[in-house]
Amino acid sequence: MAGLTEEQVSTQVGKVQVFRGGPAGPGAAGAVPLVYLHSAQGESNGLVLLERLADSFDTVAPVFPGFGESEGIDEIDDVEDAVFHLLDLFDQMGLGAAPVNIVGLSLGGWLAAEIATRYPERIGRLVLVNPAGLYIQGHEIKEIFGRDLDELALELFADQSHPVAVLMHQMASLATSTQGPDIPFEMLRPLLQSQAATAKLGWDPYLHNPKLQRRLYRVTAPTLIVHGAQDGLIPRAHAEAYAEGIADARLVDVEGAAHMLPLEKPDELAALVREFVAA
Amino acid sequence: MRFFSFHLMPYPALPESYDGPAWVTCPNELFDPAVGHEVYNRYLDELILADELGFDGVCVNEHHQNAYGIMPSPNLMGSILARQTKNAKIAIVGNALPLYDPPTRVAEEFAMIDNISGGRLIAGFVVGGGPEYYSFSMNPAHARERFAEAHEIIMRAWTEPGPFEFIGKHYKLRYVNTWPRPVQQPHPEVWIPGAGSLETMEFVAKHHYAYMGIPYFHISVFDRTFRMFREACEREGYEYDPLQAGWLEPIYVAETDEQARAEYESHFWYFVKRLLPGINISPPGYTSLRSIENILKGAKTFAINLETWDEVVEGQYAIVGSPETVTEKLIESLRRLGTGNLLGLFQLGTLPAHLTKKNLELFATEVMPKLRKEFPEGARVLGDQAAVA
């Protein structure tokens, strides 16, 4: 099994964490790198999916500013800034010369779509997993900010016995105990930081760019849209709208997975990606 | 010591069957305009009565989409009070600056009230509560930056000859030239309410404004808050003036201790259990991490967690009793906190008109004179023990 190693990359906004690994070692010549853009949950370090992907691809998983140990969120105010940060990061890592493949979950899927509409030539193949980024009237994305964690876990996970779902339920019961929250601040810190970073990009407009849908025609990369059949956060209509707006797109439903599909079905998703990239 | 009567203007008629939050999503079909007509006028009468009874000032504040305080525009109330009160300061604590775009609107409306009242306005500036950022869909990550820019625009609009240009990150105003200008020169007294955030205290200390401690915590939290504020002033190189600090506290006076509790308790619990739920939501990015850490230290003592009257009394979540009891407790606490402004909430929750009136009258005639004697205006308030500790 391929492992990923952590590196620090200097960008215009500050140093960011990147996890990278692949079958022939990081950055092997000839292989098209596969970039994984995480969701608002900040999943990266130790993610099983990344290890599965690294079995087949030179896998690059940057940690967005404000998440993990990545610096620079003060310099980023909106999606426009986020796109420029990612382009800068790709260039710093030598990923600017040839197209890369991108897999993005939720917020990460939105950012991938923003890059693909603006700079289509920089993307080889695109995989959008439960992507945010659009507003579909009557099929709104559920609230993620300030939510009761018990309720949110039900929307994020098809299986409530998943360890992260269990942790969310435990934190919910701590937060609502009559004695007030009694969670050590150091445990809360990363959560507060990543939520604040997400709010910068997606508080208003709420997790979408009103101009994105009519720009989707610009995406030239073959695109796979993956929808978790039990996703309680982002309705299927969003996946359908992406599939409709992007010329060369295919939509796949994965049963037994909700919004955090890469955590719940890492093997299935890795297989879908392998098959799609090889095709 | 200066005495203010603070009114939240609560909605007193939430149905028994409703047990959800009083903020943001509290369904507005629960608002009965007939009740609104009655209580808006009644609450204004209660503030006007405070002026007649010799209070130094009256206070109103701003909250949106909630049952806790049905005063989305305190400036409307302030303008009525400017006409209907004679002597009292009118403290609007405050306007949530990031919600006014452009913020010159605040400079204009406050200056109007200062003109109408003949220089009786106290200008309060706030970032706005956490729920406001949901109610306005305004990005909480920009709250502090917008507040800082808006504050600069307003103070410059009052003190610099216009027109001038202000080009900031959030506001780009090519012609700032506010008419009218305030009566009070160079500008009205400025108050900033805070819930223990260090940034806010440092900001207030730096500008020599006054800091108002937000209530509903155990009294020990206020000990820490005002000590931190005094230290912030010291770091700025000066000793704080007691008039730079205000303590906001629910107060109820009746003929005896027993009668006071009997008349007051159920109204207090309506406030705590029905109107507070939802007030403490803190949207992401709204408060800095170091401030959250500090605020969390007091979070366990937030009034919403109260269960028994003994806890209320012990933590001084409200000061309730005979004139003697209330006087004694206030003297003791004011000495410890060192604040030169006492902001009393004399109406709370469902407390009805006749009891609110009696409370104000008893306080003004039986308590206030003793406190004025104990704390002459301009004199030191802080006791020596607290100063050492």
* Rounded Cα distance, B266 and A206, in Å: 41
Tell me the pLDDT band of B157, cut-offs 50, 70 and 90: very high
List all residues of chain B from 292 to 351 with a beta carbon under 8 Å from chain A: 292-293, 296, 299-302, 305, 307
Instruction: Answer yes or no: are the C-beta atoms of A17 and A234 closer than 8 Å.
Output: no
Mutation for testing the A interface, residue in B23, B132, B142 having most A CBs under 10 Å: B142
Amino acid present at A166: V
Q: Is the pLDDT at B387 greater than 70, yes or no?
A: no
Q: Is the pLDDT at A2 greater than 70, yes or no?
A: no
Distance from A140 to chain B by nearest Cα, in Å? 15
Amino acid present at A236: R
The three-point CA angle A239-A240-A246 to 5° equals 90
B301 interaction partners in chain A (CB closer than 8 Å): 180
* Higher per-residue pLDDT: B283 or B11: B11
* Rounded Cα distance, B351 and A3, in Å: 66
The dihedral region occupied by A105, where left means phi > 0, alpha psi between -120 and 50, and beta the remainder, is beta
Q: Which tokens go with B254? A: 């009746």
Instruction: Answer yes or no: are the C-beta atoms of B90 and B122 closer than 8 Å.
Output: yes
Question: In 3D, which of B322, B319, B316, B320 has the Cα closest to residue B366?
Answer: B322
Weakest mean pLDDT among B146-150, B202-206, B294-298, B301-305: B294-298
Instruction: Answer yes or no: are the C-beta atoms of B155 and B125 closer than 8 Å.
Output: no
The partner residue sitting opposite B283, judged by closest CB among A145, A182, A189, is: A145
Instruction: Answer yes or no: are the C-beta atoms of A113 and A131 closer than 8 Å.
Output: yes
List all residues of chain B from 249 to 288 with a beta carbon under 8 Å from chain A: 281, 283-285
A145 interaction partners in chain B (CB closer than 8 Å): 134, 283-284
pTM of the model: 0.92
DSSP secondary structure, B243-273, as one string: GGEEEEEEEEE-SSHHHHHHHHHHHHHHIII
A183 interaction partners in chain B (CB closer than 8 Å): none
Q: Which tokens go with B389? A: 């500790």
A199 interaction partners in chain B (CB closer than 8 Å): 139-141, 283-285
* Higher per-residue pLDDT: B387 or B218: B218
Amino acid present at A30: G
Q: Is the pLDDT at B385 greater than 80, yes or no?
A: no
The partner residue sitting opposite B305, judged by closest CB among A146, A178, A198, is: A178
B101 interaction partners in chain A (CB closer than 8 Å): none
Tell me the pLDDT band of A175, cut-offs 50, 70 and 90: low
Instruction: Answer yes or no: are the C-beta atoms of B252 and B264 closer than 8 Å.
Output: yes
Q: Which tokens go with B85? A: 């009160």
Cβ–Cβ gap A199/B284 under 8 Å: yes
Q: Is the pLDDT at A31 greater than 90, yes or no?
A: no
pLDDT value at position B259? Answer: 98
Question: In 3D, which of B242, B261, B270 has the Cα closest to residue B325?
Answer: B261
pLDDT value at position B389? Answer: 43
Weakest mean pLDDT among A36-40, A186-190, A267-271, B141-145: A186-190
Locate the DSSP E strands across chain B. 2-6, 57-60, 89-96, 121-126, 164-167, 172-176, 189-194, 210-213, 245-253, 319-321, 341-345
Residues 6+ positions from A13 with CB-CB distance below 8 Å: A65, A71, A72, A73, A74, A75, A76, A85, A88
Residues 6+ positions from A274 with CB-CB distance below 8 Å: A56
3-state secondary structure of B57: strand
Distance from B53 to chain A by nearest Cα, in Å? 40
Cβ–Cβ gap B292/A146 under 8 Å: no
Question: In 3D, which of B98, B163, B154, B165 has the Cα closest to residue B121?
Answer: B154
Cβ–Cβ gap A195/B281 under 8 Å: no
In eight-state DSSP terms, residue B163 is: P
DSSP secondary structure, chain A, as one string: ----EEEEEEETTEEEEEEEE-TT-TT-TTPPPEEEE--TT---TT-HHHHHHHTTS-EEEEPPTTSTT---GGG--SHHHHHHHHHHHHHHTT-SSS-EEEEEETHHHHHHHHHHHH-GGGEEEEEEES--B---TTSPPPP-TT--HHHHHHHH-S-TTSHHHHHHHHHHHHHTSTT-----HHHHHHHHHHHHHHHHHHTTTTTB-TTTGGGGGG--S-EEEEEETT-SSS-HHHHHHHHHHSTTEEEEEETT--TTHHHH-HHHHHHHHHHHHH-
Q: Is the pLDDT at B293 greater than 90, yes or no?
A: no
Residues 6+ positions from A151 with CB-CB distance below 8 Å: none
Q: Write the pLDDT tens digit of every residue in A78-124.
A: 999 999 999 999 999 999 889 999 999 999 999 999 999 999 999 99
Kindly identify which residue of chain A lies nearest to residue B284, measuring between CA atoms: A196
CB-CB neighbours of A152 under 10 Å: 20
B21 interaction partners in chain A (CB closer than 8 Å): none
The torsion angles phi and psi of B210, rounded to 5 degrees, stand at -110, 140
Q: Write the pLDDT tens digit of every residue in A178-221.
A: 555 566 777 778 888 889 999 999 999 999 999 999 999 999 99
Distance from B139 to chain A by nearest Cα, in Å? 6
ipTM reported for the complex, 2 dp = 0.86
Q: Write the pLDDT tens digit of every residue in B160-176.
A: 999 999 999 999 999 99
Tell me the pLDDT band of B206, cut-offs 50, 70 and 90: very high
Cβ–Cβ gap A195/B284 under 8 Å: yes
* Rounded Cα distance, A207 and B342, in Å: 44
Distance from B221 to chain A by nearest Cα, in Å? 15
Q: How many Cβ pairs within 8 Å bridge chains A and B?
A: 57
Q: Is the pLDDT at B52 greater than 50, yes or no?
A: yes
Amino acid present at A105: L
Q: Counting every residue, how long is chain A? A: 279
CB-CB neighbours of B270 under 10 Å: 17
Mean of pLDDT values over B327-354:
97
Cβ–Cβ gap B285/A195 under 8 Å: yes
Mean of pLDDT values over B326-334:
98
